[in-house]
Amino acid sequence: MQPILEVQEMSQIYGAGCPACFTSTGAQFNTNICPHCGTVVAMQRVSFDLYPGEILGIMGESGSGKSTLVKCLYFDQIPKSGQAIFWDKDKPQDLFQLNPAQQRWLRNHRFGMVYQNPHSGLNFRVSAGGNIAERLLMSDILNYGVIRDRARTLLSRTEVLPERMDELPSNFSGGMQQRVQIARALATDPPLLFLDEVTTGLDLSVQAKILDLILEIQQQLRVAMIVVTHDLGVIRLLTSRTLVMKYGQVVEIGLTDRVLEDPQHAYTQQLVSSAL
């Protein structure tokens, strides 16, 4: 089967960097700060494949490089080294070799992102409908009637009352803001969706609804997703495969059931046992 995304040896550092950075940081050194030059190694030679319609979980404690990973793939950051190939309808696109206009095109037409904080993903100065309109306008849909209809459909699918589409997102509750964000991410029917800690900070009943919504979208639209979370419940419910990160390194990757029931790496064992 053709993967939709192939990530190879992707690394990201914050700081000057030195030749010893990668050999003196990571899980076995229990640090992501290089002792020689003080550089933060946020992500170290991460490789994985993602298949169409699959949900891949990325698990790990805070500071392990989970968010850096999705931010690099969504072009919010430029990784230091590595390669990521996105298969756009059987046409390979080498993400980090594209020019900024091509990157923006992919981001607007093919990717969707839901951030932990709605303030990062939504423009709070324009209405909920306007936020969805922005995505549609970015992908060159310039018909007002079409935009209104599409925004209404998306908001009802994500269970935001369409009557409230012309209100500012600041009038909404946290869960509703998150649903507007998901509607916005889905506006252009992207084949690939990034979810960065989408349920963190929401109360349990709202969390359950959002997770239901994500599963429903995945089943209906066959969207491939990368779900970043430190919540084992979310991993268990949503994902089919899981990648465990610690100090910027991938320490374990496998089927979610296997990772949770029979963790191989000491860190994963600790993570799973502390949650259960």
Contacts of 268 (CB under 8 A, 6+ apart): 244, 251, 252, 259
Closest approach, Cβ 180 to another protein, in A, equals 15
* Interface size with another protein, residues (CB under 8 A): 19
Q: 137 or 215, CB closer to another protein?
A: 137
List, as one string, the DSSP characters of 117-175: SHHHHS-TTS-HHHHHHHHHHHTT---HHHHHHHHHHHHHHTT--GGGTTS-GGGS-HH
Closest approach, Cβ 21 to another protein, in A, equals 30
Q: Which residues share a beta bridge with 252?
A: 244
Inter-residue contact 6 to 193 (CB < 8 Å): no
29: which 2 tokens?
């050194």
* DSSP-derived secondary structure letter, 24: S
Contact region with another protein (CB under 8 A), list: 42-50, 51-59, 71-79, 100-108: 100-108
Binding mask 164-193 for another protein (x = CB under 8 A): --x---------------------------
Closest approach, Cβ 148 to another protein, in A, equals 8
Q: 185 or 214, CB closer to another protein?
A: 185
Contact region with another protein (CB under 8 A), list: 87-95, 99-107, 202-210, 268-276: 99-107
Q: 82 or 129, CB closer to another protein?
A: 129
163 counts as binding another protein under rule CB under 8 A: no
Q: 44 or 181, CB closer to another protein?
A: 181
Q: Rounded CA gap, 42 and 158, in Å?
A: 34
Kindly report the backbone phi and psi dihedral angles of residue 55, in degrees, each rounded to the nearest multiple of 5, phi listed first: -110, 120
What is the distance, to the nearest Å, from the Cα of residue 230 to the centroid of all Cα atoms in its chain?
Answer: 13
Closest approach, Cβ 105 to another protein, in A, equals 9
Closest approach, Cβ 165 to another protein, in A, equals 9
| Pairing state between β 224-229 and 40-50 | unpaired
Closest approach, Cβ 62 to another protein, in A, equals 29
Tell me the chain's radius of gyration from C-alpha atoms: 19
Quick one: which of 19, 62, 91, 101 contacts another protein (CB under 8 A)?
101
Q: 125 or 258, CB closer to another protein?
A: 125
104 counts as binding another protein under rule CB under 8 A: yes
Closest approach, Cβ 57 to another protein, in A, equals 32
Within residues 123-152, the interface with another protein by CB under 8 A covers: 123, 126-127, 129-130, 133-134, 137-138, 142-147
Within residues 5-44, the interface with another protein by CB under 8 A covers: none
CA distances from 32 to 35, 37, 40 (A): 9, 12, 6
Q: Is 217 helix (H, G, I), strand (E, B) or coil?
A: helix
Amino acid in position 88: D
Inter-residue contact 179 to 159 (CB < 8 Å): yes
Q: What are the residues binding another protein (CB under 8 A)?
A: 100-101, 104, 123, 126-127, 129-130, 133-134, 137-138, 142-147, 166
